[in-house]
Amino acid sequence: MIALTGGAGFIGSVVLKKLNDEGIDDILVIDTLGTGEKWKNLVGKRFLSVIPKEEFRNGIKCGEYDGKIRLVLHLGACTKTTERDADYLMDNNHRYSIDLAEYCNRNGVRYIYASSAASYGLGEFGYDDTVFSPLRPLNMYGYSKHVFDEWMIQTGSLSNSVGLKFFNVFGPNEYHKADMASMVFKSWRQITTSGHVKLFRSTSPQYSDGGQMRDFVYVKDAVEVIWKLINSTGISGIYNLGTGIARSWNDLVLSVFSAMGKDVSIEYIDMPALLEQQYQNFTEADMTRLNATAASHSFMRLEDSVVDYVQEYLLNNWKYV
């Protein structure tokens, strides 16, 4: 079987669809569905069962799954960059990941897990996926991912494992993410309801209002990279997963207006003080190492991916992948 944590979540559910498209359905979806709309990401997809994350955690600790799993895709986590409960994040994002890694180490199982570009902090040391110990994440979410990357390195657990430092992923199936949904989705909603989009004013003289930059990556591209890694068992290590090209928030929002056929109207607002303390004005994945592997990928242009997302999904009653 394949164990897919976060399988009802944003990236995880698109990975689940990709596995199904490739004829794979012996999949355990590990997730907590709660009372929200996340369950809709599972509709129409094939899998063996949905198992609550703590039940699965207990099962791997007591040997229930020994010899039964051939691959662990660990995409589940709390991704709220504003989450303040450090104990919760250390258990949910860090120690849970360790439990899965130890299971994989004991059983010789390949392990592909989600790290995050939030680990890079302000980017003082660049966005080089060979640099770890000097990094200073700006929020507890980024720190929980960073310390797990360091644990994997320090324990020598990367020989049959891949960590992926996701940059700003957007696309269909993120509808349940509320405040953590992408700015593409938020822009579409704002334009639909008010005709304009609100962006933060810049707090740095280096960037104009809305000129702060991110490496935006379409979820379909991210999933194609994951699929290549599933099939390239000789690849191991921790890699960036972005496009390698930073674009501004203004570029992103203009792409949404264009995809919707609407006139551009942007209002710049002050950034909340809490967010200002942990705001990344620039991110751009150094893709040198991944591009040198069999998982190298040609990413869609931002404008093309926004058109696909807006016109094929958002304007089509929030269609799911």
43: CATH: 3.40.50.720
Is there a domain that residue 181 lies in?
Answer: yes
> pLDDT confidence of 277, banded at 50, 70, 90?
confident
Q: Which two tokens stand for residue 232?
A: 């390239």
Instruction: Tell me if 111 is assigned to some domain.
Output: yes
Interatomic CA distance for residues 74 and 116, integer angstroms? 13
pLDDT of residue 276: 83
Return the number of other C-beta atoms located less than 10 Å from residue 34's C-beta.
10
Query: Is residue 106 included in any domain, yes or no?
Result: yes
Q: Give the pLDDT confidence of 107-166 residue by residue, as tens digits.
A: 999 999 999 999 999 999 999 999 999 999 999 999 999 999 999 999 999 999 999 999
Contact of 142 with 118, CB cutoff 8 Å: yes
Residues 260-299 as b/e (b if ≥16 CB within 10 A, e otherwise) read beeeeebeeeebeeeeeebbbebbbbbbebbeebebebeb
To which H or E segment does residue 247 belong? strand 247-248
Q: What is the CA radius of gyration of the chain?
A: 19
d(CA 246, CA 241): 13
Find the CATH number of the domain harbouring 188.
3.90.25
Average pLDDT over residues 22-34: 97
Residues tagged active-site: 141, 177
The residue with tokens 């191991």 is: 236
Domain identity same for 203 and 124:
no
**Are residue 56 and residue 182 in the same domain, yes or no?**
no
Supply 277's token pair.
Answer: 């303390």
Is residue 176 within 8 A of residue 189, CB to CB? The reply is no
54: in domain? yes
Q: How many domains does the chain have?
A: 2
* 122 and 265 together in one domain: no
3-state helix, strand, coil in the chain (%, to 5): 40, 15, 45
Rounded to 5 degrees, what angle do the CA atoms 214, 217, 219 make?
A: 145
| Residue 144 structural domain | 2-170+216-244+284-300
**pLDDT more than 70, % of the chain:** 100
Residue 15 counted as domain residue: yes
In a domain, 202, yes or no: yes
Residues 186 and 165 in one domain: no
Q: Are residues 32 and 157 in the same domain?
A: yes
- 160 and 18: one domain? yes
For 83-104, write each residue's pLDDT tens digit: 999 999 999 999 999 999 999 9
